[in-house]
Structure 1
């Protein structure tokens, strides 16, 4: 199993303070892909720039797609640019991939089940792997989940020893914060617009 798959399943199965937003999860999944590709040496970071290495086959279709999607011309793209570009619709893509592999409940869903609901959870190898990694307090998975509102108090920056991983985690946190601000601004604008029409 990959870090993005584990993160997706944690977002579905682990209770949190609020439902995970699709856009937030997509950004975090794009970050998780970068971290796994760093681990396979498919890329390196030069500061905040994503520098691709040779095209590799990881054995995972989604990671292979991510590797093929890397910008291979200088000046390369930043981690932030990657998150926004690759993250578009990524949560739905992982949902479909895991569903097709029988790692969810087997029931096709339009979107994620609400965490903490009564839906039956399939006891699959992928779910067990994600749960084991989560409850062992694996720091990378915890660091990716924290901006999503899952286990905010579980992260300890002292556990990270890789500057590149820290760069990705920081970029994920910043991107999720930015997207949250955009949603809040739109909510306020819509509320103000509604109030104009309701005014006597």
Structure 2
């Protein structure tokens, strides 16, 4: 399992009352992939740009796909641009992959068999590992879950990130999620204004 898959499982584990926005999650998944590629030596960070490193063969098809999408010619891609490009519909991609691997199951909510269907993590070793990593407050996973609004309710200070490149990526994910929220708010205001004009005085 990768950090991105662990993040997806933790997000799905929160239940509908604490549902994570798909756009927010997609941006964070792209950041998680980048952090894993940093860990394998597949990329390095130079300022705000992603510099592909030596050849690496990630043992995960989605991470391999991410590595193949890296811009390898200078000027290299900015982290923020990578998050938006790679992150497009990435949560749906992870959902499909994890369902195919048996890591997610579909269940109907409510007492009726025709109630709304939702996806939740299956009780697998990978899910238990992801939950264990989060409960142990592994710094990278805690930082990424916090960015998308997942809070484990504990008030103690989270462990700091000790890698400058990883810190840079997490900060870029945070900025991208804030930018997405600003776009949502602007659209809400514009839609409300349009509705008021349509209704008239």
TM-score, normalised to structure 2's length?
0.88
Deviations 1:137-196 (A, max 9, x none): 111001011121101776857521100010000000000000000011001101110111
Mark the runs of 5 or more structure 2 residues left unpaired by the alignment.
108-116
Q: CA deviation at 1:126?
A: 1.9
Mark the runs of 5 or more structure 1 residues left unpaired by the alignment.
114-118
Deviations 1:54-86 (A, max 9, x none): 332111000000001000000101111110110
Provide the rounded CA distance (Å) in 2 between the counterparts of 1:153 and 1:169: 21
Alpha-carbon spacing, 1:60–1:74, altered in 2? closer, same or farther (3 Å): same
Q: Which has the higher contact order (CA 8 A, sep 6+)?
A: 1
Provide the rounded CA distance (Å) in 1 between the counterparts of 2:122 and 2:153: 28
Answer yes or no: is the 8 Å Cα contact 2:43–2:52 preserved in 1.
Answer: yes
Q: Which residue of 1 aligns with 2:191?
A: 190
Question: What is the aligned-residue RMSD (CA, Å)?
Answer: 2.3
Deviations 1:29-65 (A, max 9, x none): 0000000000000010111110001332111000000
TM-score, normalised to structure 1's length?
0.88
Report the secondary structure of 1:72's partner residue.
coil
Q: Which residue of 1 aligns with 2:161?
A: 160
Q: Which residue of 1 aligns with 2:182?
A: 181
Q: CA deviation at 1:125?
A: 1.7
Report the secondary structure of 1:150's partner residue.
coil
Provide the rounded CA distance (Å) in 1 between the counterparts of 2:16 and 2:172: 22
Alpha-carbon spacing, 1:139–1:156, altered in 2? closer, same or farther (3 Å): farther
- Residues 53-64 of structure 1 correspond to what in structure 2 (within 5 A)? 53-64=53-64
Provide the rounded CA distance (Å) in 2 between the counterparts of 1:177 and 1:152: 21
Alpha-carbon spacing, 1:99–1:17, altered in 2? closer, same or farther (3 Å): closer
Q: CA deviation at 1:122?
A: 2.1
Are 1:199 and 2:200 counterparts? yes
